[in-house]
Structure 1
Amino acid sequence: MTFAGPARPEPEYNRKTPASGPTVLRIVLGGQLRRLREEAGLSRAQAGDLIRGSESKISRLELGKVSFKARDVADLLDAYGVTGERRQTLLELVEQANRPGWWHQYGDVLPQWFETYLGLEQDAARIREYQLQFVPALLQTADYARAAIRLGHPSADERELQRRVELRMRRRELLTRPDPPHLWVVMDEAVLVRPVGGRAVMRAQLRHLAEICAMPTVTVQVVPFSAGGHAAAGGAFTLLRFAEPGVPDIVYLEQLTGALYIDKPAEVERYQKVMDRLCVDAEPDRRTPDIIADVLRRM
């Protein structure tokens, strides 16, 4: 995982900044500490010496890749000459950034590399996702999710399967919270006709998907078979954008045993262009309910 730096201006954090979860707050706090260190004219190695650490430790802190110790941050703020309300605000931010997210209770079935994504997903203001095999997790029914999870974890017992399904259903709650992100999904038509879980499960999933299309904060488009080849030849990916100042856009690429997080502006821009092209190749979102209805008639 790499968080190279903010793609947008990085204003000073203050109490009026919208509340966020621990993953994004670590990125925000890390960016603030980097800016303060640079203003103080100190190198990462010099800052590391101040907290009995190394240059690499400072780098990880400033990238928001690790949790923060209040003592370390206090020592750094002393060295950077930060006092008064500004200092107190940053120390409060440390406490908030160290609070575990709700997903930590699923640690028995949750790999660490995916914990990062869940934290980002919870705080995203906009999620753009392309899928070519499965219905996106946030739009799945419990039965469809169970079937899809079983394919990826064929040796899982009933308890593990149930825990994984519960986690996926809990994730869906962000779509109906008071401040939901805008979810914009583009799916290959194959996703709609592949009977994951069998005919009955798939028909229920399609009906659920049709209902989701009516939500004002969800956009669903389908790339038809007639489009032929298209821009996303490399596979599924997700683009995340945040309202929090100083947090860069992030591309998420899930792999079999891990994930890649990309935030370098030039690389993110390439994925954004691919997504934009997919939206052009896909049928307009107003057509999606009709496409789903047609698949249901033929299933």
Structure 2
Amino acid sequence: MVLGKSLRASREAMGMSLKTAADSIIVSVTTMSRTETGHRRCKDGDLEHLMDLYLIIDDKQRQSLRELNASANRRPWWQDWTDVAGKHLRTLVSFEEMAQRIRAYEPQFLPGLLQIEDYARAVIRLGLPEAPDEEVERRVALRLQRGKRFADSAPQKLICVIDETTLLRPYGSAEIMRRQVEYLLSLTENPRYSMRIAELGKLDVPAGFGPTTIFDFEERRLTDIVYSEYFEGAFILQEEQQVDMRKKAFDRLLGASLSRARSAQRLRDLLKKHY
């Protein structure tokens, strides 16, 4: 899917129609569309032709697209969870694997990459009250695996704005929240995790843009991508103007949030006062 989106963005930047691109590699418009939506693997020769057609001349970008195409044939690690991981979740996991830096803001819950097991179980059960226990446990296992893989991936960084509401609204139990906050506090010493708290009582905090995860890729091999979840699913932004607007909104919120040091202190205060 990432490769297809990148190819589509390059085609649209050229002002080229889907039919023109399809004709250039002698496939139908339907086949070309399936390639761009990630439902069909792009042949190696077709990829080389499309990169030339779209004037993609940067060697690093071309190599990145080749690697994405090659990886489409490999069995992804999350394949074992396809029974509980829908299309949007699989896309999110793919982005998490490839991104060099992730910037995240969640107004309702703590970001999945930061959740401990019991917190994850509580919020997943809340969202799926009628799901069987087995399904909930499968979803919990996948979320924990995502967090573990990120923690084990040394080059990656996470910049996260945590809405103070998510820390004050308990899920599961006070004991679970205490352990969750303690876990967050332990991450404040890790330079790969930058957590900033958006204060609940501060006036005019610019937090009205909704759940947002921004994926930045190494040396801009791929364009930045925004992923935003809602109750029924998720949407992805890749158009430059839309992505830029969301990045600026995130940066405004980040600038209005507590510093890393003051955020760590706020976590300590929460443990004393609430949990």
The answer to whether residue 214 in structure 2 is matched with residue 221 in structure 1 is no
**Alignment gaps of 5+ in structure 2:** 54-58
Distance 1:67 1:139 in 2: 34
User: One-letter code of the match for 1:58?
Assistant: M
Distance 1:281 1:80 in 2: 41
> Is this contact kept in 2: 1:249–1:263, CA < 8 A?
yes
User: One-letter code of the match for 2:273?
Assistant: R
Distance 1:25 1:45 in 2: 16
Work out which of the two has the higher radius of gyration on C-alpha atoms and give 1 or 2. Answer: 1
Q: Determine which of 31, 36, 45 is the counterpart of 1:57.
A: 31
Residue 106 of structure 2 corresponds to 131
| 1:156–1:269 Cα change, 3 Å | same
| 1:95–1:128 Cα change, 3 Å | closer
Distance 1:204 1:252 in 2: 28
Q: Determine which of 16, 21, 26 is the counterpart of 1:44.
A: 21
Q: TM-score scaled by structure 1?
A: 0.77
Work out the number of aligned pairs and report it: 262
| 1:76–1:227 Cα change, 3 Å | closer
Task: Please report how far the alpha carbon of residue 44 of structure 1 lies from its aligned counterpart in structure 2 after TM superposition.
Answer: 2.2
Higher relative contact order (CA 8 A, sep 6+): 1
**Alignment gaps of 5+ in structure 1:** 1-22
Give the secondary-structure state (helix, strand or coil) at the position aligned to 1:254.
strand
> Is this contact kept in 1: 2:34–2:40, CA < 8 A?
no
Give the secondary-structure state (helix, strand or coil) at the position aligned to 2:100.
strand
Q: TM-score scaled by structure 2?
A: 0.83
Give the secondary-structure state (helix, strand or coil) at the position aligned to 1:171.
helix
Residue 140 of structure 1 corresponds to 115
**Deviation string for 1:229-269 (max 9, x for gaps)?**
32221322111111165411111110222211001111111
Task: Please report how far the alpha carbon of residue 163 of structure 1 lies from its aligned counterpart in structure 2 after TM superposition.
Answer: 0.6
User: One-letter code of the match for 1:191?
Assistant: T
Distance 2:268 2:67 in 1: 51
User: One-letter code of the match for 2:24?
Assistant: A
The answer to whether residue 235 in structure 2 is matched with residue 260 in structure 1 is yes
| 1:75–1:291 Cα change, 3 Å | closer
> Is this contact kept in 1: 2:209–2:249, CA < 8 A?
no
Distance 2:93 2:251 in 1: 24
Give the secondary-structure state (helix, strand or coil) at the position aligned to 2:131.
coil
Task: Please report how far the alpha carbon of residue 173 of structure 1 lies from its aligned counterpart in structure 2 after TM superposition.
Answer: 1.8
User: One-letter code of the match for 1:109?
Assistant: V
User: One-letter code of the match for 1:206?
Assistant: V
Give the secondary-structure state (helix, strand or coil) at the position aligned to 1:209.
helix
